[in-house]
Amino acid sequence: MAEPFIDGGYAAFSWLDRMTIVDPADGSEVDTVPSSGTAEVDRAVRCAYEAFPAWRDTPAAKRGELLGEAAEAVLAARAELAPLLTSEQGKPLREANLEIRRFVHTLEHYSGLAKNIRGGYVPDLDEDTYGLIVRRPLGVIGAIVPWNFPTTLLGNKLGPALITGNVVVAKPADTTPLTTLRIAEIMHAAGIPAGVFNVITGTGEGAGQALAEHPLVRKIAFTGSTPTGKKLMAIAAGDLKHTTLELGGSDPMIVCDDANLDRAASAASVGRFFNCGQACLAIKRLYVFEGVADEFIEKLVRKARRLRVGPGTAEGVMLGPLHSPRQRDLLEEQVADAVDSGAEVLHGAKRPKGDGYDKGSFYEPTLLLEPARDSRVATEEVFGPALPIWRVRDMEEALALANGSIYGLGSSIWTSDLNRASDAAQKLEAGYTWINSPQLVYDELPFGGWKQSGHGKEHGIEALEYYTETKSVVVKRSVATQERKATQELGGSESVSQR
């Protein structure tokens, strides 16, 4: 039985109902966690609040050192953490290992920035007066995370929050709290002080909402769906809390007639089917120029056929199960709508048959050609392994379709003409554009959506700004100078100007 991690230890809330964590590959029970409510969330937030002054006042270099050591300890435990992540999330072990490494890299990145948290100095504000711009942490951060990348998305918040002197109460998704709880324990054992990083378990409407509403929480750092993001923004408005909202996406990929088709097909296959298509940054709409469409599609179909579907623990599996029956039901509705609208099924569009498949939410990698341009796969986020493909005449048509979405998270262009690519990159309405590159996210570059994909940035040195406030400090250099001036004024000299 797993328990919330609060103030450096597991808290036994024996009076609470328990939620069952299920293995998506076969529906078996992995563990249970308590469904926390307002009182338990309050306890976690108050512990964090009490830990805040000491952590804030710890020298930044020391915070960096502790974060670096905590990252190392998590890396050392990856042989234990990756299978745990697979058991609760469903992803293949290889991807779970990669995810733990990404979490560690992000913490290391922010650990390395510890000595670069800077302010400003303005020398001549007035006679004998200078100004300082100092950065201060916000306090308690409520970090709410979804189930698709439970640790990567936690790391994106934990790294910049802790290095700038904030304390964190994290609320993982209802269905994937186990790896996060164990990581909190490991990081604490490696030196992160009690109360600095706490994890509460529970539902979104219960624990998540209580955390967002708590008056001592100064910022809601959220990754999840656009509808939940809107709710949290409304809650934040009540107390004017800070927010970063990393929300849904429907990333377009444009393949031009002069693209390297082999590389583009590989990028489309990985970009759509990684994590069984359950990635905010997955390629969710593909626009290919007419002249190369047949050749490109043939290559992509060949790649989809080779992808092995199965439990995440099995050797050589590329596509695990979808995270839950609910996710598969939704995907099946969207695919059926695409087919009804006239799409040709190039591959998949069905559940795999055979031993073991009936127990988990498995689905074949699916390619759909020319669904209606107003069908659900064109307008909604498709959070599973199905890729709609449309032929386009030229870049103008591709850009109009790519930008014709409520989302603006990522986008990619494949062409050997870099002038054409840079021109299109300027016009694509998205927070990230990859040119001839797979959709990989780098710690060094700010990441965040436009339009209904959210606001605020994670990653990069830029993320530090989202976890701090600036304070302007005005300093008069010498008291003697002020006294001389005051005497002059009493003697009838001109009055001090009001600024």
Alpha carbon of residue 320 to chain centroid: 21
Least distance in Å: CB of 236 to ligand NAD? 11
Region binding ligand NAD by CB under 6 A among candidate stretches 1-9, 47-55, 226-234, 395-403: 226-234
Region binding ligand NAD by CB under 6 A among candidate stretches 84-92, 93-101, 121-129, 207-215: 207-215
From 246, 364, 381, 458, the catalytic residue: 246
Helix, coil or strand: residue 249: coil
Answer yes or no whether residue 209 interacts with ligand NAD by CB under 6 A.
yes
For 196, what's the count of Cα atoms within 13 Å in the CB-facing half-sphere? 27
Which of 348, 352, 350 is closest to 365 using CA atoms?
348
Answer yes or no whether residue 136 interacts with ligand NAD by CB under 6 A.
no
Q: Is 246 a catalytic residue?
A: yes
Least distance in Å: CB of 281 to ligand NAD? 7
Q: How many residues does the chain have?
A: 499
Among 144, 186, 255, 267, binds ligand NAD (CB under 6 A): 144
Tell me whether strands 251-255 and 283-289 are parallel, antiparallel or unpaired. parallel
Answer yes or no whether residue 381 interacts with ligand NAD by CB under 6 A.
yes
Shorter beta-carbon distance to ligand NAD: residue 107 or 264: 107
Shorter beta-carbon distance to ligand NAD: residue 154 or 421: 154
Tokens of 202: 């529970």
Q: Is 280 a catalytic residue?
A: yes
Q: What distance in Å separates the CA atoms of residue 225 and residue 380, rounded to the nearest whole number?
A: 12
Answer yes or no whether residue 95 interacts with ligand NAD by CB under 6 A.
no
Which of 70, 469, 402 is closest to 251 using CA atoms?
402
Answer yes or no whether residue 165 interacts with ligand NAD by CB under 6 A.
no
Region binding ligand NAD by CB under 6 A among candidate stretches 106-114, 353-361, 362-370, 446-454: 446-454
Helix, coil or strand: residue 283: strand
Answer yes or no whether residue 200 interacts with ligand NAD by CB under 6 A.
no
Q: What distance in Å separates the CA atoms of residue 47 and residue 167, rounded to the nearest whole number?
A: 10
Cα dist. 73→100, 186, 188, 192, 397 in Å?
11, 7, 10, 11, 50
242-261 positions binding ligand NAD, by CB under 6 A: 246-249
Shorter beta-carbon distance to ligand NAD: residue 415 or 453: 453
Answer yes or no whether residue 228 interacts with ligand NAD by CB under 6 A.
yes
Answer yes or no whether residue 145 interacts with ligand NAD by CB under 6 A.
yes
Which of 140, 314, 307, 297 is closest to 221 using CA atoms?
140
Shorter beta-carbon distance to ligand NAD: residue 289 or 432: 432
Shorter beta-carbon distance to ligand NAD: residue 229 or 348: 229
Q: What distance in Å separates the CA atoms of residue 36 and residue 198, rounded to the nearest whole number?
A: 13
Helix, coil or strand: residue 287: strand
Tokens of 94: 């290889």
Instruction: Please give the residue ranges that form the binding site for ligand NAD (CB under 6 A).
Output: 144-149, 153, 171, 173-174, 203-205, 208-209, 212, 223-225, 228, 231-232, 246-249, 280, 381, 383, 409, 449, 453-454
Active site residues per annotation: 246, 280
